[in-house]
């Protein structure tokens, strides 16, 4: 893993899986690793980084010695993608309680908007090496 950033995502959420594919396409240097929130690795990381009570309504980003949640995770990821996605960091001017409230509103409704899979969707063989903890999904 070489201390690369790890994105923890809801593995049964269609929107979240689409977001992971979006990130992979804009991460040509393969700096991000991924693990579904349903994996034991994700649960261990959330304990290790003291990420409590966020539920499954967020992406989490473990980067360096920090854990980013809600809109802060999304903005931190965007700044490292190719293209002009770093411009979304202008939203950091909006106070995080406001950003996070909007983020949580969307997250609560993502299943009804985009659907939900019965089980975690497995990555293609091409990208499997970037996914961690898939062998122990619970």
Whether 48 is covered by a domain: the verdict is yes
With CA atoms as reference, report the closest residue to 122 among 17, 6, 9.
17
Residue 89 belongs to some domain of the structure: yes
pLDDT digits (tens, 9 = 90+) for 28-85: 999 999 999 889 999 999 999 988 777 666 789 999 999 999 999 999 999 999 999 9
Predicted TM-score (pTM) of this structure: 0.87
The total number of structural domains that make up the chain: 1
Instruction: Report yes or no on 135 lying in a domain.
Output: no
In a domain, 70, yes or no: yes
Task: Give the strand order in the sheet containing 33-36.
Answer: 33-36, 6-9, 60-63, 66-69
Range of the domain at 55: 6-120
């Amino acid at each position: 893993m070489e201390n690369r950033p790890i994105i923890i995502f809801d593995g049964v959420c269609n929107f979240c899986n689409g977001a992971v594919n979006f990130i992979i396409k804009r991460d040509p240097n393969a700096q991000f690793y991924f693990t579904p929130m349903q994996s034991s690795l994700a649960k261990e990381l959330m304990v290790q980084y003291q990420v409590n009570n966020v539920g499954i309504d967020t992406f989490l980003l473990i980067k360096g010695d920090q854990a980013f949640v809600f809109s802060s995770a999304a903005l931190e990821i965007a700044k490292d993608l190719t293209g002009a996605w770093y411009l979304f960091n202008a939203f950091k001017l909006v106070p995080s309680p406001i950003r996070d409230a909007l983020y949580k509103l969307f997250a609560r409704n993502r299943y009804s908007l985009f659907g939900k899979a019965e089980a975690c969707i497995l990555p293609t063989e091409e990208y499997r090496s970037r996914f961690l903890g898939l062998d122990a999904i619970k």
